[in-house]
Amino acid sequence: MRQIYLLSPKALSPETIAVAFAKTSRSPESFREIAAELTDAQSAQFHERWVVGYGHASVAEHAILHIALENVSRLAIECIESNRLASYTEKSTRYQKWSPDSFYTPPSLAENQHYQQICRHLFETYLRSIPVVQKLMQAKYLRKENETEAKWDSRIRSKYVDNCRFLLPASALANVGLTANARVLESAIRKMLSHPLDEVRAIGAEVKQVAQAEVPTLVKYADAAPYQMETAEALRKSNGRRATGEERVEAVLVDYDAGAQDKFLAACLYAYNGASLAHCRAQVNAMSVEQKAALAREALGRLSKYDVPLRELEHVTYTFDTVMDQGAYFEIKRHRMMTQTPQILTCDLGYAVPRAFVEAGFENEYRAAMEAAANAYQQLVCEHPFEASYVVPNGFNRRLLMTFNLREAFHLCELRGAANAHFSVRRLAGQLYTEIARVHPLLAGYMRCRDNPAWQTIEQEFFVALS
């Protein structure tokens, strides 16, 4: 008789649940019966032998932990959230107003008055900008009849905070919730303990300590990885030139398969007709343009707003060299079903100027704060090459190399191109879509963002010329 039930963490530890699932491969007993025979000590012994000793690390994936991290810098969050198979929710810069003095000071800069001054200056400018831009948005989005002031502000808050957040530095403190299995967590801890920033290493040590209360065996051997540290240092030394100068914010398609549309169609046939891939590709190659369009329509034409497209789209990949502001990057980094290679956060590539600051009469104050941050960065970077990034505000540009498949492109361009998304990331999503549509128009025609405003329109509406 079929039974489906929870093995609750209220009654069983995560390590014991992992063992109960692992033992079912060789035991005829039910999960309940297996779990009833286990103790925490027996579970630890099992993991020492099979997970640690014999390398059956997949067992650790059944132990799930939920970890709350509070008052960590947004710069540290980049490492915390860099693990693909985990879930995160963090304090938003779009829907909350951030408090003054809510920034991290690294130990190496504890006595550096300039660091303290620039972080405070950025927060003070941010706080001064809020009522100014709020007034502008109130004039644009009038209060509705019978709408309370609180509801009105809730409705338009993101429209003014979306601009003001460009001033927040990477040192700003935030909270983030992390959900991961023990296998991912072990890798995450190892990565944090190998990081060049003191803050991230300290967070890694605390996460390990907290995790060991629930999975004492599965993360016990998570230590700093010499390979990661030494390789990173060697690569940094081999590339001494730092790029400088203003860069256009753009997404350049640097690599793609010109024949990917036919390969996608062949993969669709392959899934259902039992023939070899070579046969399916030959079949597609023999089709007319109209026949290929008809096959694409069969594969993608029934997509509704909430449908997930076919996995066969994952056979189509793209590589983009992008420049975006740090605020946009913080949203793009959440799309982990891709390979991302970010460059270090600097003040070397110019900064975005939201049009709202100009319209609200706040442009000069904004530019002065950004230039002050750039000057502080340049003074810090020689002696503190990693810690200098703490003073870089959200508005500064950054390079990111992205490789992803078309299925992920459907998701990213639709979600980040939506009208309620931040305008920085809407511009980027539009740029990605434009390039994909240029090289693969047949498949891009089914992306549910094709009717969004062009990225140039978004740029003209929300930004002034490059600083």
Q: By residue range, what is the domain housing residue 193?
A: 14-70+174-237
263 DSSP 8-state letter: H
Do 151 and 205 sit in the same domain of this protein?
A: no
Q: Decide if 456 is inside a domain.
A: yes
CB 356 within 8 A of CB 161: no
Per the domain annotation, does 8 fall within a domain? Answer: no
Q: Parallel, antiparallel, or unpaired: how do β-strands 173-181 and 397-405 relate?
A: unpaired
Residue 76 to residues 71, 80, 118, 211, 395, Cα–Cα distance (Å): 10, 6, 19, 19, 18
* Total domains, the chain: 3
Rounded Cα distance, 347 and 396, in Å: 6
Q: How far apart (Å, rounded) are the C-alpha atoms in residues 445 and 38?
A: 55
Same domain? For 294 and 413 the reply is: yes
Rounded to 5°, the CA angle 115-224-171 comes to 20
Asked whether residue 206 is domain-assigned, the answer is yes
DSSP state of 48: I
* Model confidence, pTM: 0.91
List beta partners, residue 68. 177
Burial class, 264, CB count within 10 angstroms (exposed 0-12 / middle 13-18 / buried 19+): buried
- What is the maximum alpha-carbon separation in the chain? 73
Residue 6 counted as domain residue: no
> Are 262 and 330 in a shared domain?
yes
Q: Residue 146 — left, alpha, or beta (φ > 0 → left; ψ -120 to 50 → alpha)?
A: left
Residues 228 and 105 in one domain: no
Query: What's the one-letter identity of residue 450?
Result: R
Return the ∠ at Cα 114 (arms to 113 and 115), rounded to 5°.
Answer: 90
Residues 260 and 130 in one domain: no
User: Do 43 and 63 belong to one domain?
Assistant: yes
Residues 357 and 425 in one domain: no
325 shares its domain with 428:
yes
Same domain, 389 and 414: no
Answer yes or no: is 76 within a domain.
no
pLDDT at 237: 85
- SS3 letters across 136-195: HHHHHCCCCCCCCHHHHHHHHHHHHHHHHHHHCECCEEEEEEEEEEHHHHHHHHHHHHCC
Q: What local confidence, expressed as pLDDT, does residue 55 receive?
A: 57
User: What span, in angstroms and rounded, lies between the C-alpha atoms of 71 and 174?
Assistant: 5
CB 170 within 8 A of CB 77: no
Block mean pLDDT (10 aa), the chain, length 467: 76 80 77 77 67 63 90 96 93 78 93 95 96 96 92 91 96 94 94 97 96 88 92 84 69 96 97 93 97 97 93 97 96 94 96 97 98 97 96 97 97 94 96 97 95 94 79
Distance separating alpha carbons of residues 441 and 435, to the nearest angstrom: 9
Same domain, 259 and 360: no
Element (H, E) at 66: strand 64-73
Question: Does some domain include residue 382?
Answer: yes
- 315 lies in the same domain as 450: yes
Residue 416: CATH number of its domain? 3.30.1360.170
203 vs 163: CA distance, rounded Å: 30
For helices 260-273 and 277-285, the axis angle rounded to 10 degrees is: 120
Reported residue count of the chain is 467
Within-domain flag for 148: yes
Token pair 């449908």 in the structure block, residue: 307
In a domain, 83, yes or no: no
| CA–CA separation, 326 and 398 (whole Å) | 6
Task: Name which of 255, 195, 143 is nearest 389 in CA terms.
Answer: 195
Our CA angle for 193, 198, 200, nearest 5°, is 50
**267 and 290 fall within a common domain:** yes
CA distance 188 to 194: 10
In the structure, how many helices (H) and strands (E) does the chain have? 19, 7
